[in-house]
Amino acid sequence: MDLLSFLRFQGLPNDGLEVKAYQHVDHKGRSIQEIIDEGHFDHYQSYHSGDVLGRGYVVSFIKEATGLSRFLGIWKVASQRKESRPDGKRDLSWYELERIPILDEFVNRIMIRWPPGRVTHRWLYRPQSKYPSVPIEQIRQRGFSGDFPGYQDVILKHSDLVRLASSGSSAQNWIAALSFARGVYLITDTESGDLYVGSATGAEGIWGRWASYAQNVHGGNVILTAKTARIEHYANGLQYSVLETLGSLASRDDGLRAEQRWKRKLGKKATILNAN
Last residue within a domain, chosen from 96, 112, 139: 139
- Whether residue 168 is contained in a domain is answered as yes
Position 172 in a domain:
yes
* Domains held by the chain: number: 2
Residues 178 and 52 in one domain: no
Which CATH number covers residue 190?
A: 3.40.1440.10
Q: Does residue 215 sit in the same domain as residue 126? A: no
Tell me the residue range of the domain where 168 lies.
Answer: 151-271
pTM: 0.56
* Helices and strands: H and E segment counts in the chain: 9, 12
Q: Which pLDDT value is given to residue 225? A: 58
* Claim to verify: residue 72 and residue 200 sit in the same structural domain: no
Residue 91 belongs to a domain: yes
Report, as an integer, the average pLDDT of 73-88: 79
pLDDT digits (tens, 9 = 90+) for 174-183: 888 898 889 9
Domain end among 93, 119, 139: 139
13 and 104 part of one domain: yes
* Residue at 106 is within a domain: yes
Domain boundary among 139, 172, 193: 139
User: Is 146 a domain residue?
Assistant: no
Is the domain of 132 the same as that of 158? no
Cβ neighbourhood burial of 266 (10 Å; 0-12, 13-18, 19+):
middle
Mean pLDDT lowest among 54-63, 172-181, 220-229, 232-241:
220-229
* Statement to judge: residues 135 and 155 lie in one domain: no
pLDDT digits (tens, 9 = 90+) for 100-144: 998 998 988 898 988 877 788 889 998 888 888 899 998 876 666
Kindly give, in sequence order, each residue whose CB lies less than 8 Å from that of residue 240, ignoring residues fewer than 6 positions away: 154, 155, 156, 157, 158, 160, 161, 185, 186, 187, 188, 210, 213
Q: Using one digit for the tens of pLDDT, what is the confidence trace for 147-164?
A: 788 888 899 988 888 878
